[in-house]
Each structure stands twice: as structure tokens, then as C-alpha cells.
Amino acid sequence: MSYRLLPRVLWLLVLTSLTSAQSSEQRTQAVGSRGRDLEYRRQDDRWLRVEPAGTFEVDSEVVSVRFAPGVADLAAFRERVGADFEPLDLVRSNRLGIVDLRVREGSDVLAVVAALRATGLVEYAEENTLGRWISDPNDALYSDQWSLKNTGQTGGSFDADIDADLAWDLGGGLPSVVVGILDSGTEISHEDLTDNVWINPGEIPNNGVDDEGNGFIDDVYGWDFGNGNNSVPGPFWHGTSVAGVVGATTNNGMGVAGVAGGFGNGDGCRLMILGVGDSAPSGAILDDAILYTADNGGAVITMSLTVGQSNSIDNALDYAWDTVGVFTDCAAGNSGGSVGYPARHDKVVSVPATDDQDDRPSWSSQGPENWIAAPGVDIRMPTTGNGYHYSSGTSFAAPHVAGVAALLLSALPALDNDSLKEILKLTADDVGNPGFDNQTGWGRLNAHAAVQHALDNDCNQNGVYDPDDIANGTSADANANGIPDECECTAPSNFCVSAPNTAGAGALITSMGSQSVAVNDVTLAATDCPPGQPGVFYYGPNTTQIPFGNGFRCVTGTTHRLPVVYIDGIGVARFDFDLTTAPNPGGIQPGDLWHFQYWYRDPLSGGPSTFNLSDGRTIPFCF
């Protein structure tokens, strides 16, 4: 059997095994590079590799290869197997002859590894895994906190958690971020809380004077509005537990870890304690506690309570969100029915609960007001008497969200509450019905994804969340929002849809490589073309974008044809170009915006002379 024939068949299998949503129960066995039997588990759109030391996510982008004797390098490998392996691009190599290859986006990485091994031209081919820093906190009860890191320790599902440990790799809570705990009071002397309790910077303790003139005497740690005094501990455990979820001191060798508790030495977010009732919350004083938080430096408010609707509370919530910019969340409720108040207020993020399998418990309230779900079943938390316990309820889901809000504000202090709310939506793990649903809102909270998203969208590191900027390598304000844009290139985007053939498919353009003019390595690829049919890439400059219609392109104005197009036997057309010389005569200039489309003959659409178009691909280029 020729080497050219075998890879062609294998690559056809690889290219047709595009990742899609599959059952998290899908499992397979495979042989590792040293003959080890390995177990793999499919979870949504990723593979997990199960090993005795733990479960690791498989890297979907890069595979590692050591070529067999007689195969000098990737070029020699390609010469032997033919062009069918062209989608594998060289990332790096080392002096031991180990080569890292980038897998084409959308391919099943395990199928790629199998295809490489089957050529007989490699000593080994193996997938890689995404590991984790050995930086789990040393809190004695951290292993009980499935909500922060779920390894299945409670019988739940692996990774049905908020990925707090990964978020902490990006940064913990900071003392500059103050979270108002509007609850039954908090035991501020608790060993796991005392280092992160807010201290009013303008108040001199116990001098009987309202030093900073805010209307409250000796409000050093906050205020007990129910009893009208500065004694904030309260007799009921509920507020102590809520505060602990947000900001228990992390990595202090004792107790539990808080979502935004820092990483030891009292460097976490600060907990402003506002009592709003001893045994039950009082609507008459809730508005006052909201105003206190907003007026005294609070950036986040979390409420794990429900009361009857009130105009006074409505006004206070509007003021906190609109005027001061305080992010506010509230437990959705535990009735299993409609979302409670104030969670259903439009200036409040309503938080339902999930369990350790990412399911909604039947008692978690549901409705269109729900925004994002968070763990709320069997949560390990501090309690009064310097102790710890488990409890369940949306009461303990809401402070998870507040903690992540504090992490986001620690990462980007200028983040406004509307953007923060949107980030939570965009980065949630969709655990209920696809998209929004009344039970889990936009999905279950993901701390790591949220913080990473915020940092990624401050691409010029000026501390401003700016996702809409179009990078052009200059100091221009591309989206006219008053913020200069000096970032890396934005992702390419589609601007029109391919005309489907009679089989219901049209070609899709993807682009690979850097869009930086200095790097010069862009590749265009059109997939799902009829194999062997002639075709050509068209491109046009900054022109008006119109839908496909009466002719052969989506872009108007002057268009050009790229001179070299390779069409393989499995329906992939490719063009590689150097930005300094192509595709435009004279090369691409920083700041250019070009539109690309692929024209090809398509017998399925009505005869040998019938043509079809791919989708359109817009690529902005930068320095």
C-alpha cells in the first residue's frame, strides 16, 4: 500500500470527525505512546484523559510527534505521505527530534493522533494535556468545597464547579474591593473571616463620635440596622456563612477558601457587614443598608434573602446600580416557584442554584429574571462559634457570584456593573437547556472564564474592559468610545453566508496564522468544496458589504483573484501568502481591512457549469 493512499483515507476520517456537542458519558480506550492503556472521556466539546493522578483536559490544538528513522523533518514527512497532512502546521521542534504540530481547528485531536500513528512514519504521536499549577490552597477543608473545584469528591460530576482554582492563577481578591454582606450579621472574630473584614478608614474605634460624618457613630465594621448599633456579629449563623463563601481567607492553613479571599495574609476582598434582621430580614431597613453600602465604598452587594416588594427598596437599588455603579446580586429563592424579591428587580442579578452534577435542585426558584446560576447544594462554609458546616440554598449560590464579581473588579478595577453582568453571561457554562432558560439563566458561573475574558478584552492593558475595539495597530479610536486602540488583531468575522448547494452545504472559509503584518504567515482555507472542482479566491478592499445576490461575490467594488489555489481530493482549497507581497499588489498595510471569498464550480447545484460561493471572511490586519 502506498503511503499516499493511506493518509488520504485517514485524513478524510479526521476532517469528517469535527467536534460537536456529545454526551458527557462517552468514553473510549486508547493506547498511549508507550503502550499504556488510557481512558478518555468526552465532555461537551472536549476530551478528558483519565489517569491515576487525576483527569486532564486534552489540548485540542497541538499534537507532538517524533518521526521514524529516515524521516528527517516535517517536509520529508509530507513528501512521503502527500499533501493530505497539509493542515498540520509546524509550531516548534527541539534537538531530540520532537515536533509540535498545530491541528486544524475543528478536527478531533484523537483522530489526528491515530492517523499520524497509522502512517508508520513516526516513532510516536501523542496528544497533549492541559495541566494545572500545583497551587491549590492549603485550607484544611478545601477538598470539601466541590463548588470551587469538583473532582467528583462528593459523587458529583468532574468540573461541575466554578473553576475557582484556575481563576486564582490569574489573581485573587484585593482589599480595595469591598463587598456589602446584607444579612443577619457576621461573626467578625471567626478565624477564617477576621483578616478580610472591612474596617471603615474614616472612623476612630469606640470614641463615640461620627468621625467621617456619614451619620453613623463608630461604624468601624459596618452597621446593624436591625438593632441600630455598630455591633455587627448578630445571633444567627446565616450571615457568617454567606460572608465566608465570598471572602473566607484563602490559603491560611485553616477552614475553607473564599471565592475572593485572597491567598493568605489578609489580602482578599473586604467584607462590609450590614445587619438587616436577626432572625428574619426586614424590608423597612433593607433600603438603608443598600444606601450605606453604596455611599461608603462598597463595589458589590450580595443579598441572600427575600422580602415583599417596596418602592423604597426599588429606589435604593436604582440609586446603587445607576448612580454609584454598585454590582448587586440576590438569591433567587428556595420555593421552587417564581423568583423572589428583590432578586426579580431589574437592577439585581438573580442567582438560582446548581448541585455537584450541574443540575438545578427542585427547590431553586425559576423564572425569566434568573441571570446566572451558581453552586448552592451542600456548600462547606464557616458558621458561628468559630466553626464550619454544610448547608444548601440559593442563599449560598448568590455569594459565589458576588465573589466572582470581586475577582473581576480586582482584575479590572474600572469595570462597570453592566459590563460585569454581561461578562458573567458570556462566560457561563451552559448547563441547562441550550441558551437562556428560566431554571439556570444563561448558565452556571465560571470564575476562571470570567476573569480571563475580562483580561483578554483589556488588550492594551489600560485597565478598561473594551471588547468592541477593532485593533489596527495605531492609537486611533476605532469604535469612537474615547479609548485609543493599540491591541492585537481582532478575530476574523463572517459577513455573508454561502449559497448552499442541493445537498444543503456551502464552502466555509477559515483563516490561520497571524494577522500581524510583521509575521507574514496567513493561510486561507475553504472547506466542504466539491473535491477536484476548479475554484479561486476573490478578495476586495474596504468596500460596502452586501448580501450574496445576483452574481458571484458578496463584496462590491474592485476585486482581485489570488493567483495560486490548491484544491485537494477531499474538498479543501488553500492559499498561503506573505503579507509583504500578497495578496494585494504591494502587500498588506497595517490597518487594512480585506474581504475574502471562494468561488468554485458545484455540480450539485445544477450542472457542471454552475458555480457557488463560500461564506465571506473579513480580516483586519495590524502591525
CB 268 within 8 A of CB 260: yes
* Bridge partners, residue 576, by sequence: 523
- pLDDT computed for residue 565 by the predictor: 72
C-alpha span between 87 and 75 (Å, rounded): 13
Question: Looking at 134-262, which runs of residues are DSSP E strands?
Answer: 178-183, 222-224
- 575: pLDDT strictly greater than 50: yes
CB 595 within 8 A of CB 557: no
Q: Cell numbers of 141, please?
A: 477543608
Query: Residue 448 catalytic?
Result: no
Q: How high does pLDDT run on average in the chain?
A: 80
- Report pTM: 0.62
Under CATH, what is the fold of the domain 493-620? Immunoglobulin-like (2.60.40)
How big is the chain by its Cα radius of gyration, in Å? 28
Least confident of 239-253, 413-427, 456-470, 550-564: 550-564
Q: Which residues contact 5 (CB under 8 A, 6 or more apart)?
A: none
CB 158 within 8 A of CB 356: no
Q: Check residue 523 and give left, alpha or beta (phi > 0: left; psi -120 to 50: alpha).
A: beta
Amino acid identity, position 81: V
What backbone torsions phi and psi does residue 343 show, to the nearest 5 degrees?
-60, -30
Structure confidence by residue, pLDDT tens digits, 218-260: 999 999 999 999 999 989 999 999 999 999 999 999 999 999 9
What percent of the chain shows pLDDT beyond 70? Answer: 73
Give 514 or 17, the one with higher predicted confidence: 514
- pLDDT computed for residue 519 by the predictor: 60
Query: Residue 238 catalytic?
Result: yes
Give 4 or 76, the one with higher predicted confidence: 76
C-alpha span between 489 and 257 (Å, rounded): 38
C-alpha span between 219 and 351 (Å, rounded): 30
Structure confidence by residue, pLDDT tens digits, 190-202: 999 999 999 999 9
**Helix-then-strand count for the chain, H and E:** 10, 27
Q: Which of 486, 410, 402 is nearest to 454 (CA)?
A: 410
- pLDDT computed for residue 557 by the predictor: 52
Q: Residue 24's pLDDT band (boundaries 50, 70, 90)?
A: very low
Length of the chain as a residue count: 623
Amino acid identity, position 51: E
CB 427 within 8 A of CB 456: no
Q: Residue 522's pLDDT band (boundaries 50, 70, 90)?
A: confident
- pLDDT computed for residue 288 by the predictor: 97
- 108: pLDDT strictly greater than 60: yes
CB 329 within 8 A of CB 376: no
8-state DSSP, 322: I
Q: Cell numbers of 407, please?
A: 475577582
Q: Are both 142-456 and 493-620 of the same fold? A: no
- pLDDT computed for residue 563 by the predictor: 60
CB 587 within 8 A of CB 581: yes
* Bridge partners, residue 54, by sequence: 51
C-alpha span between 182 and 281 (Å, rounded): 9
Q: Which residues of 84-97 are buried (b: 16+ CB within 10 A; e: fewer)?
A: bbbbbbeeebeeee
- 495: pLDDT strictly greater than 60: no
Catalytic residue among 163, 183, 356, 568: 183
Q: Residue 492's pLDDT band (boundaries 50, 70, 90)?
A: low
End-to-end Cα distance, the chain: 48
Q: Where are the alpha helices (DSSP H) in 16-73?
A: none
Give 332 or 537, the one with higher predicted confidence: 332
Place of cell 489578609: 266
CB 405 within 8 A of CB 329: yes
| Count of alpha carbons within 13 angstroms of residue 434, beta-carbon side | 2
Q: Where are the alpha helices (DSSP H) in 108-255?
A: 109-118, 164-170, 238-247
What are the angstrom distances between the C-alpha of 169 and each of 137, 164, 166?
A: 11, 9, 5
Structure confidence by residue, pLDDT tens digits, 445-483: 999 999 988 887 765 566 777 664 433 333 445 445 555
Q: Residue 84's pLDDT band (boundaries 50, 70, 90)?
A: low
Domain ranges of the chain: 5-130, 142-456, 493-620
C-alpha span between 563 and 561 (Å, rounded): 6
Secondary-structure class of domain 142-456 per CATH: alpha beta
Place of cell 476532517: 15
Mean pLDDT of 413-432: 92
* Bridge partners, residue 577, by sequence: 522
CB 412 within 8 A of CB 463: yes
Catalytic residue among 60, 147, 364, 395: 395
How far does Cα 326 stand from its chain's mean position? 23
C-alpha span between 36 and 524 (Å, rounded): 38
- pLDDT computed for residue 547 by the predictor: 33
- 407: pLDDT strictly greater than 90: yes
CB 286 within 8 A of CB 276: yes
* Bridge partners, residue 617, by sequence: 494, 596
- 553: pLDDT strictly greater than 60: no
Catalytic residue among 64, 107, 147, 238: 238
Structure confidence by residue, pLDDT tens digits, 137-189: 999 999 999 999 999 999 999 999 999 999 998 888 889 999 999 999 999 99
Query: Residue 389 catalytic?
Result: no
C-alpha span between 75 and 60 (Å, rounded): 23
What are the angstrom distances between the C-alpha of 593 and each of 476, 497, 621?
A: 15, 19, 6
- pLDDT computed for residue 464 by the predictor: 72
- pLDDT computed for residue 467 by the predictor: 60
Coil, strand or helix at 216:
coil
- Tell me the three-class secondary structure of 455-494, residue by residue: HHCCCCCCCCCCCCCCCCCCCCCCCCCCCCCCCCCCCCEE
Give 444 or 612, the one with higher predicted confidence: 444
What backbone torsions phi and psi does residue 150 show, to the nearest 5 degrees?
-100, 110
Give 373 or 24, the one with higher predicted confidence: 373
- pLDDT computed for residue 574 by the predictor: 82
Mean pLDDT of 590-605: 69
Structure confidence by residue, pLDDT tens digits, 30-74: 444 444 456 777 766 778 776 654 566 789 899 999 999 999 888
- pLDDT computed for residue 459 by the predictor: 54
Coil, strand or helix at 396:
helix
What are the angstrom distances between the C-alpha of 273 and each of 64, 176, 181, 242, 386?
A: 53, 16, 5, 11, 17
